[in-house]
Amino acid sequence: MQFTFAYPDRLMFLGLIPVLLILYFVLSRRTSARNRQFGIDGLSRLLPRQQAWKRHLGVGFALLSLASLNMAFAQPSAAVDVPRDRATICIAIDVSLSMEATDIDPTRLAAEKVAASQFVDMLPQGFNTALVSFAGYATMLVPPTTDRGLVKRAISNLELAPATAIAEGVYSCLDAIKLAPADPKNPDAPVPAAIVLLSDGYSTVPGRTSTQAANDAKLAKVPVYTIAYGTAGGYVVRDGRKEPVPVDKAELKNIADLSGGKAFTAGSAAELKTVYGSIAQQVGYEKQFTEITERFAGGALVLAILAALAVISLASRWP
């Protein structure tokens, strides 16, 4: 994490830390040398024996507490993840027949429904979410809304259909994003948006191409985050025969690259959940420099308490 300080000149007091550390080291050596030379007197034999590591620990915590307090005094700021105030996310889900493959337990589509619903809950509260399903054609199931329950119910009701038209899924999302409400504070500003598109294959129908769709998404400043979902060994059973449906990554990566998004892959339900979490972090949060003085002040307080406990233990018979 990179830091900036409102008053960097105040960090000069950190120079006292090594001075105090050297002073402690010199005094410790002096005490040890005196004990070796003169032995231990009768009073010292009556007192609880001090364990050196406790004393070292107490001093270490105390010095770290001073350092943290000094950094807080300089008022540090750092780039931290801050939830975006508002944006529109369109989730496009492939419901082609290959999504009934069982290489992801129990099926690709069933596992996707669970992960997509969890993804909706990961987004910041102020976000609008739209849902599009696509197979041979695309359908806008839910226009941009903050009603997460509505989106999750629509996800749970997804049904399979033949063929795959990935480009239509992108275009349907672009249409959905146009329906997003404007920012009441700045109604003329473009609506920040992104598309999260999941598919397990490649386009199988003629018409508009995914390359064209990706370029149009870039012109609209809507990045497409793609998820290539499935494994190389996936198959479905048709008329008693196994038909391979391996995941195809090339077309989805091309869409992500051209639109300014990012391409992901997921070969299991756990991987899909991780991917959705990563995407939620990228589209839902942004880096902002924020003052974090309270973090250093809190750290100094914790370290001071630990130093105090170490000092107290020197006068006790704690283990």
pLDDT tens digits, residue range 235-290? 998 888 999 999 889 999 999 999 999 999 999 989 999 999 889 888 877 677 78
Closest CA to 303 of 18, 55, 73, 59: 59
Cis peptide before 187 (omega within 30 of 0): no
Q: Which percentage of the chain shows pLDDT scores above 90?
A: 54
Do residues 291 and 77 touch, judged by C-beta distance below 8 A? yes
Looking at the predicted structure, is the pLDDT value of residue 37 above 70? no
pLDDT 10s digits, 97-129: 999 999 999 999 999 999 999 999 998 888 899
Q: How confident is the model at residue 43 (pLDDT cuts 50, 70, 90)?
A: very low
- pLDDT for 174 equals 97
Give the bridge partners for 238, in sequence order: 241
Number of separate helices (H) and strands (E) present in the chain: 10, 11
CA atoms of 15 and 19, how far apart (whole Å) = 7
Comparing CA positions, the residue from 218, 152, 140 lying closest to residue 177 is 140
Largest CA distance in the chain: 98
Of 147 and 188, the structure prediction assigns the larger pLDDT to 147
pLDDT at 308: 87
How much is the pLDDT for 46?
45
**To the nearest whole number, what is the mean pLDDT of the chain?**
87
The pairing of strands 241-244 and 263-266 is: unpaired
The C-alpha torsion from 246 through 251 and 256 to 262, rounded to 10°, is 30
Higher pLDDT, 215 or 39: 215
Nearest CA to 211 out of 202, 221, 200 is that of 202
On whether the CB atoms of residues 107 and 100 are closer than 8 A, the answer is yes
Residue 90 binned pLDDT confidence (cut-offs 50, 70, 90): very high
pLDDT band at 163 (very low <50, low <70, confident <90, very high): very high
| pLDDT score at 230 | 92
Confidence at residue 182, expressed as pLDDT on a 0 to 100 scale: 79
**Count of other CB atoms within 10 angstroms of residue 258:** 19
* Banded pLDDT at 47 (limits 50, 70, 90): very low
Determine the Cα–Cα distance for residues 22 and 31; give it in Å rounded to an integer. 14
197-207: per-residue pLDDT in tens? 999 978 999 98
Give the model's pLDDT for residue 222. Answer: 95
Q: Is the pLDDT of residue 38 over 70?
A: no
- 88-94 and 193-199: which strand pairing? parallel
**Residue 32, token pair as written in the block:** 């040890």
One-letter amino acid of 131? L
Yes or no: say if 143 and 185 are a contact pair by the CB < 8 Å rule. Answer: no
Point out which residues pair with 137 in neighbouring strands: none
pLDDT in tens, 187-228: 777 778 999 999 997 899 998 999 999 999 999 999 999 999
